[in-house]
Amino acid sequence: MIRYLIKKRKITLLFFAVVSIFGLLSFFQLPKQEIPDLVISQAMVTTTYIGATPETVEQTITKPIEQKIKEMQGVDTITSTSSEGVSTIMVMLESGANPKEKWQELRTKVQDAGGELPEGANQPFVNDNLVTTFVSSYAVTADNPEKLKELSSLMDSWKDQLRAVPGIADIDIKGIPDQEIRVNLDTQKMQQYNISWSQVSQAIQAENERTPIGDIDFQERNYQLRIENTQNIEDLNRVIITRTSDGFPIYLEHIGSVELTHAETSYYAYSNGLPTITLNISAETGSDVPAIHDRVVENMKKLETTLPDGFELDLLYAQKNTIDDMFHGLSKELLIAMIAVIIVCVMALNLVTSSIVMLAIPLSLAVGLVVLPMFDVTLNQMTVIGVIIVLSLLVDDAIVVNDNIERRLSSLGEKPMEAAVNGTKEVIISIITATLATISAFLPLLVLPGDMGKFIKPIPLVIIFSLLASMAMSLTIVPIFREWYESRHQKKKGKPNKHPGFLGKQINALNRLYSGKAMKKVVKRPILIGTLGILIGTAAFGLAAFVPVELFPKAEDPQFTIDVSMPTGTSLQETDRVVKEIAAWVQEKPGVEAITYASGGGAPQLFNGMGAGSGSGAGQINIQGEEGKFDIQATLDEWNDHFKEAYPGISVIASSLSAGIDVGDPISIRLTGQDMEQLRGLSEQIKTIIAETNGTYDISDSVGVERYALEFIVNKEAMDLNQVSYTNLTTTLRLLTQGLGVSEFDTGNDLIDIKLYLDEEIQGDPTSLYQQLSVTNALGEQVPLAQLVEMKPTFSVQQINHHNLERTITVGADITEATTATAAMTEIIPKIEKLNMPDGYKWSIGGEVEQQTESFQDLGLLFIACLVMIIVLITIQFNSFSIPLIILTTVYLAAAGGVIGMFVTRTPLGFMSVIGITALAGIVVRNGIVLIEFMEDARKEGMDLTSAVIKATEARFRPIILTASAAILGLLPVALIGDILFRPMAITIISGVIFSTALTLFVVPSLYLIVANMKNKRINKKRTKLENLEKKAKEKEKETITL
């Protein structure tokens, strides 16, 4: 086959050229993103029941829907939150479930549950499109918040136009309340005319709502029938509510007023001190962010011309800029890595042979990248890191093949064709096995479940297909080139260069020292050397106890978030005052480049930041600092100390972003049970335990502090006596809160809610309302509210959470830079285990530690699967059970070296470190396979065991050193100047390769000698026994003949 490919080299070269061109075109057409899209199998079911308490929402909305969802197969978790007027249920599918089928089933189940919901509750809405790709964030600023309300219609128009841009999935506009038509009712005038709110509601509905009247056929034509809609809001004032006994009409304007206004403001946003409307633009998953960003910019320039005077449009954040910076840094690392690998090649190879070996890099990458679009892989930082990792591996096969051809040309004196064919054939099995073994280390990562698997999916894909391309290229292009080159330059050749490469002489001298002196001593004491190497590796694992554990490190970018949580019941205005004060203090700090802040929710985005709380007591500040001006941890410590002193009783926490993906709170304890009071008592005990733990702060639970409430004690006898129903009572009380929605007004461009409210002058005084409000009874009479109920102040829970249908409270906390989640939980867990949990109540770990445990368990199982596949491959090649165990010592030693590297550099053991250890299994096993292959071949040729081992180590020394150097130098830029997310992986691989290479050169030959000697002794013993039996048989035969 090799001979045929060499003879038909034009066809082979054409094939590689076509595939390479196609691969390069595919590469440049890959959508660019910062990180891979995490398309999670999760859906949200939202149901509104306006005015209902959390307890009512839980019992009448959440529970019936949860019970129906529970009937589905393939659901992993069901979590829910029942808060005032809203039920939110999150459904997470099991890994492997078909989302399309399951979401259709979910809609059916939710629809079934809808029939059981109370009157007044809206139908549940299922949203299974929860993941989009963030593109950019814009700010429209003005001098004061009220001025921003003038842009309501314009912002709706912008939203419609931007949605029409190809690739845009969602436009989220924040900072401007929805418009509504407010009908302010005068209760005194209503009592004067004996008019109830229900009469007002029915009159508005009758006047405003139209029933479609269809069409009609007449004289061979079809006519659509239409009734002109009123589009003038002032016309609502002329709606007739009723008539007096004399027949005079009572219009709406006689008992109230109508105005187009905005809903009550629940969110204030600011950019660099100015009131702001933010436009957050998201694209469909898998989109090319830079391309969509350019389209958005083009449209925003046109839209900006429609902005009235007094308003400014600014770009707050664009993922494109982050992508450009990221690819600039990664491209620099990639270029340095390529130069490093090239230096390795020319270090021990002449320019001609090093050129063909280096050709393996672009060719293999081009061919390997062809398949990425088939797997919906985008060009992101994980893809580029995959390229950097595989870069140092792509030359391995080419170096081995080229080195073996060179050996047959120079040492054995074969002709170019024979050297190319025989040299390739000699190593083809070991190269295929080694490549498949390397792929086996990365293949299991493709089936890593959950968000982690989706996050790193590009890395194994790039490595696997590039390695397959490298293997094919090394077995075809290298022998083709060497045969072609040597045939044409054989006559011109002078004396062959014994020391090819710039450091060829030094490497050969080192080889002589290793194989000529050191190995001659090793073969005499293989048991000592082998045992010593294994013991050193084992001892290195003891250092793991001193390596900190952290799933993902903190990011190094000067980007900060300050989360503000006011005491329960704090008004939005007071929260806004505090947030403004904190923001002003921060803005005076040197090095602050930009700042955004908000009250009532998350601040406008300056970066891909963390989520924020919501409600009148929540606030957030985002800070973008100048590069090099901040010591991040020192700044956070200083700011948090100041906030603790300046704002007692208020939670003000400054924090930096985390590299990697969001994995929840570092400290998270989930309590489940039925009684909320019991759960709250347990949560307080957990909070105390966490507070006593070093390095913890910002301790809170998912329920929060109870809020102020007004409870109405119903007089049932008075209700029955006055013929007042609970429906009439509760609907009337709605006028105390959010108002009563009665209809929608069609302006011709939009539908605006029409709501009934009490007079604004008395709305702020609940006692006054209580005394003046009346309830309409079954006879249409007005019954004073004070005769029916008694009002008293009390407290109520903010929300009730469920986890898999059980009530739950989650206690969470953050940690300082000086500690890790694992260290803190190690101190917390024993204390929680000592708590006396009542029957039916239990606790579990959540957040980062839960995710970390699951990830490490998954990776551990996949690592075992990786080792099993490697063992199977090596067993098939060598037809031996002992040789795979010998070769796996390289993996054992490499993992030990990774631990040493983490210990020396104080790098935490995290997700990317474990990925690095998994990668090491595939990287280092190659050398062991090819080394033992040479030993086996030499023995088959008749060489004695000791000579075969020394000869193999001499032949494989240079390729082992070159491939190890390529791996080390290729990843060195990532370890030194790369993103902090990938440094642990690079450090682990580099230290593992160094340690493994140093010991493999001695341990593998020693173990091979030990096993081979044991086999020889066993064979010799059997042979001696057989000879003795034969000898005895002959002696008996002679005795018989003599007799």
Domain 554-657 in the same topology as domain 41-130 = yes
Is the confidence at residue 988, as pLDDT, over 90?
yes
Query: CB of 209 within 8 A of CB of 743?
Result: yes
Q: How confident is the model at residue 66 (pLDDT cuts 50, 70, 90)?
A: very high
Output the pLDDT for position 1043. Answer: 58
Q: Give the CATH number of domain 179-262+707-796; options: 3.30.2090.10, 3.40.109.10, 3.40.50.920, 3.40.50.2000.
A: 3.30.2090.10
Rounded to the nearest angstrom, the gap between the alpha carbon of residue 199 and the centroid of all alpha carbons in its chain is: 54
For residues 21-35, give the mean pLDDT. 81
CB atoms within 10 A of CB 371: 18
Strand partners, 88: 46, 81
For residue 902, give the 3-state DSSP assignment: helix
Ordered by start, the domain boundaries in the chain are 1-30+349-487, 41-130, 179-262+707-796, 510-551+848-1043, 554-657
Cα(91)–Cα(83) distance, integer angstroms? 18
Query: CB of 898 within 8 A of CB of 992?
Result: yes
For residues 218-225, give the mean pLDDT. 81
Angle between helices 477-489 and 351-358 (to 10 degrees): 160
pLDDT in tens, 396-419: 778 778 778 877 887 777 788 888
Among 156-160, 588-592, 700-704, 707-711, which stretch is predicted with the lowest mean pLDDT? 707-711
Query: CB of 161 within 8 A of CB of 264?
Result: no
The chain-wide mean pLDDT, for the chain, equals 84
Is the confidence at residue 497, as pLDDT, over 70?
no
Q: What is the DSSP letter of 236?
A: G
Is the confidence at residue 300, as pLDDT, over 90?
yes
pLDDT in tens, 259-271: 888 888 889 999 9
Output the pLDDT for position 576. Answer: 93
Is the confidence at residue 717, as pLDDT, over 60?
yes
Residues of the chain with pLDDT > 90: what percent? Answer: 18
Among 660-664, 676-680, 949-953, 960-964, which stretch is predicted with the lowest mean pLDDT? 660-664
Query: CB of 473 within 8 A of CB of 479?
Result: no
CATH fold for domain 510-551+848-1043:
Multidrug efflux transporter AcrB transmembrane fold (1.20.1640)
Is the confidence at residue 566, as pLDDT, over 60?
yes
CATH fold for domain 554-657:
Alpha-Beta Plaits (3.30.70)
Cα(292)–Cα(290) distance, integer angstroms? 6
Output the pLDDT for position 618. Answer: 87
Cα(384)–Cα(381) distance, integer angstroms? 5
Query: CB of 667 within 8 A of CB of 824?
Result: yes
For residues 521-541, give the mean pLDDT. 90
CB atoms within 10 A of CB 767: 10
Chain position carrying tokens 């989220």? 172
Query: CB of 665 within 8 A of CB of 814?
Result: yes
User: Are β-strands 618-625 and 592-599 bridged in parallel, bridged antiparallel, or unpaired?
Assistant: antiparallel
Q: What is the DSSP letter of 616?
A: T
DSSP per-residue letters across 734-755: GGGTT-EEEEEEE-SS-EEEEE
State the architecture of 41-130 in CATH terms.
Answer: 2-Layer Sandwich (3.30)
For residue 909, give the 3-state DSSP assignment: strand
Q: What is the DSSP letter of 248?
A: -
For residues 127-139, give the mean pLDDT. 82
Is the confidence at residue 160, as pLDDT, over 80?
yes
Residues of the chain with pLDDT > 70: what percent? Answer: 95
Is the confidence at residue 276, as pLDDT, over 90?
yes
CB atoms within 10 A of CB 687: 17
Q: What is the DSSP letter of 115?
A: T
Nearest CA-CA partner of 259 in 184, 205, 154: 184
Q: How confident is the model at residue 501 (pLDDT cuts 50, 70, 90)?
A: low
Under CATH, domain 1-30+349-487 is a member of which superfamily?
Multidrug efflux transporter AcrB transmembrane domain (1.20.1640.10)
Q: How confident is the model at residue 764 (pLDDT cuts 50, 70, 90)?
A: low
Cα(911)–Cα(658) distance, integer angstroms? 13
Strand partners, 221: 218
**Which residues lie closer than 8 Å to 998 by C-beta, 6 or more apart?**
none
The better pLDDT of the pair 892, 357 is held by 892
Cα(1031)–Cα(1034) distance, integer angstroms? 5
Among 240-244, 345-349, 931-935, which stretch is predicted with the lowest mean pLDDT? 345-349
